Amino acid sequence: QQYNVAILGATGLVGRQIIETLADRKFPVGSLFPLASSRSAGEDIKFQGQDIEVQDVELFDFSQAHIAIFSAGSEASLKYASIAADAGCIVIDNSSAFRNDFEIPLVVPEVNPHSLEDYRNRNIIANPNCSTIQLMLAVKPIYDAYGIDRINVCTYQAVSGAGKEAVDELAKQTANLMNARPMDNQVFPKQIAFNVIPQIDDFTENGYTKEEMKIVNETQKILGDSTVAVNPTAVRVPVFFGHSEAIHLETRMPYDLEHVKSLLREAPGVELIEDEHDYPTAVSDASGNDTVYVGRVRADISHPQGLNMWVVSDNTRKGAATNSVQIAEKLIEIYL
Ligand code: A2P
């Protein structure tokens, strides 16, 4: 059986990656409908060697599609997801618009596939934040074995998480600064080239940013456990593709380090770097593939049940496109 698939945000960084991933993973696509705003309607997108014209989402009839994957930001999701869902199309949404809605499942297929069933409530499934996805793949096996009291996490996030314009801003600033030309910033709140910025998204009332609160709320929702305390600091770094995370967690029961390593070795979607003097990095390992790499797994010398690890993954792939295509794969495998 084949499925007609619409991609909203098809001209964007993640939208293009979704289309590539559908082809790479041989998703059974009948017709592909690339959608964007009127700005880029009429452009061509390549899919399996064919040019397909981008359509204006405003004029699109969603009853033509079985599945729609949205990656055009929260505003577009809030506007079009219910229109698509009401037309009988199942929406997999990459924005943060629906992630905290208790009726809408928030799914990482390797971690909480059972939640997918709730797609029936609204015909909408939310794809988690990129930082949450890689965190979940690394901590879920440990959570299952020992429980987790608390997670401290510092993220080092690539500019591609903020879209195509953000990638262009890092490239332009870098070139300008290296040629002693003046630079300006439009996408990021401060200079991102040769700098790190401890702010992603807006600030909230408690002093954390929205990006940080996404990691807190999404982690608890995916684990189905609001007793897991999460304390994130989300930082933007001048890397194009691939998020890194320094994770410090405290288990509920005493853990055995060798057992933790064996769990990570077996964990789906995860590759453990075994050499204690080696480690994965965003650019040399994660960028361009779908694996979540875990390294520097070691006991915390400051806490008896503390555990440290370093986790990297391509934010546009497993952090966004791949996870949403995997959701679509599970959906057709189990329910359609
Ligand atoms: P467009 O090319 O028409 O602007 P990125 O995250 O790389 O910046 O890409 C964002 C994607 O989301 C683009 O494909 C963009 O389309 C699309 N998009 C953004 N806002 C809207 C909207 N209001 N309606 C439809 N598509 C949108």
Could you list the pLDDT tens digit for every one of the 336 residues in the chain? 999 999 999 999 999 999 999 999 999 999 999 999 999 999 999 999 999 999 999 999 999 999 999 999 999 999 999 999 999 999 999 999 999 999 999 999 999 999 999 999 999 999 999 999 999 999 999 999 999 999 999 999 999 999 999 999 999 999 999 999 999 999 999 999 999 999 999 999 999 999 999 999 999 999 999 999 999 999 999 999 999 999 999 999 999 999 999 999 999 999 999 998 999 999 999 999 999 999 999 999 999 999 999 999 999 999 999 999 999 999 999 989
**Range(s) of the chain covered by CATH 3.40.50.720:** 3-128+320-334
Q: Are 127 and 9 in contact (CB under 8 A)?
A: no
77 Cα–ligand 1 center, Å? 11
Residue that has been written with the tokens 């793949």 in this structure: 137
For residue 55, what are the β-bridge partners? Answer: 35
Provide the pLDDT for residue 3: 98
Question: Would you give the end-to-end CA distance of the chain in angstroms?
Answer: 10
Report the alpha-carbon distance of residue 52 to residue 34 in Å, rounded: 7
Going by the annotation, the residues of the binding site are 11-14, 39-40, 99, 157, 160-161, 182, 236, 315
| Separation of CA 286 and ligand 1 centre (Å) | 26
Q: Which residues contact 326 (CB under 8 A, 6 or more apart)?
A: 109
Given a contact cutoff of 8 angstroms between Cβ atoms, the answer to whether 30 and 64 are in contact is no
Atom of ligand 1 nearest to the CA of 164: 7
Strand partners, 124: 91
Read off the tokens for 243: 């998020």
Backbone angles phi, psi at 84, to 5 degrees: -65, -45
Cα atoms in the Cβ-side hemisphere of radius 13 Å centred on 117: 3
* pLDDT 10s digits, 121-157: 999 999 999 999 999 999 999 999 999 999 999 999 9
C-alpha of residue 74 to centroid of ligand 1, in Å: 11
Q: What percent of the chain has pLDDT over 90?
A: 99
**Check whether domain 131-315 has CATH 3.30.360.10, yes or no:** yes
Give CA–CA dist 316/323, Å, rounded: 10
In our burial notation (b when 16+ CB lie closer than 10 A, e otherwise), range 6-29 reads bbbbbbbbbbbbbbebbeeeebeb
CATH 3.30.360.10 placement within the chain: 131-315
Closest residue CA from atom 15 of ligand 1: 9
List the structure tokens of 9: 């945000």
Residue 67: what pLDDT? Answer: 98
Which atom of ligand 1 lies closest to the CA of 39?
A: 3
Which residue has its alpha carbon closest to ligand 1 atom 3?
37
The residues lining ligand 1, judged by C-beta closer than 6 Å to any ligand atom, are 9-13, 15, 36-37, 39-40, 57, 72-73, 75-76, 163-165
Question: How far is 109 from 269, CA to CA, in rounded Å?
Answer: 10
pLDDT score recorded for residue 237: 98
Residues marked as binding for phosphate? 99
SS (H, E, C) the chain: CCEEEEEECCCCHHHHHHHHHHHHCCCCEEEEEEEECCCCCCCEEEECCEEEECEEHHHCCHHHCCEEEECCCHHHHHHHHHHHHHCCCEEEECCCCCCCCCCCCECCCCCCHHHHHHHHHHCEEECCCHHHHHHHHHHHHHHHHHCEEEEEEEEEECHHHHCHHHHHHHHHHHHHHHCCCCCCCCCCCCCCCCCCECCCCCECCCCCEHHHHHHHHHHHHHHCCCCCEEEEEEEECCCCCCEEEEEEEEECCCCCHHHHHHHHHHCCCEEECCCCCCCCCHHHHHCCCCCEEEEEEEECCCCCCEEEEEEEECCCHHHHHHHHHHHHHHHHHHCC
CATH code matching the domain that covers 3-128+320-334, chosen among 3.40.50.300, 1.10.760.10, 3.90.79.10, 3.40.50.720 = 3.40.50.720
Rounded CA-CA distance 235/170 in Å is 15
pLDDT recorded at residue 140 = 98
At 268, list the tokens: 């789906």
Task: Name every residue whose Cβ is closer than 8 Å to that of residue 61 and which is 6 or more positions away in sequence.
Answer: 87
Residues belonging to the active site: 130, 243
Pick the atom of ligand 1 nearest to 71's CA.
Answer: 12
Predicted pLDDT of residue 124? 98
CA of 71 to the centre of ligand 1 (A): 8
Scored b (16 or more CB within 10 A) or e, 199-232 reads: bbeeeeeeebbebbbbbbbbbebbbeeeebebeb
Name the residue of 7, 11, 80 whose CB sits within 8 Å of the most ligand 1 atoms, as the mutation to test its pocket: 11
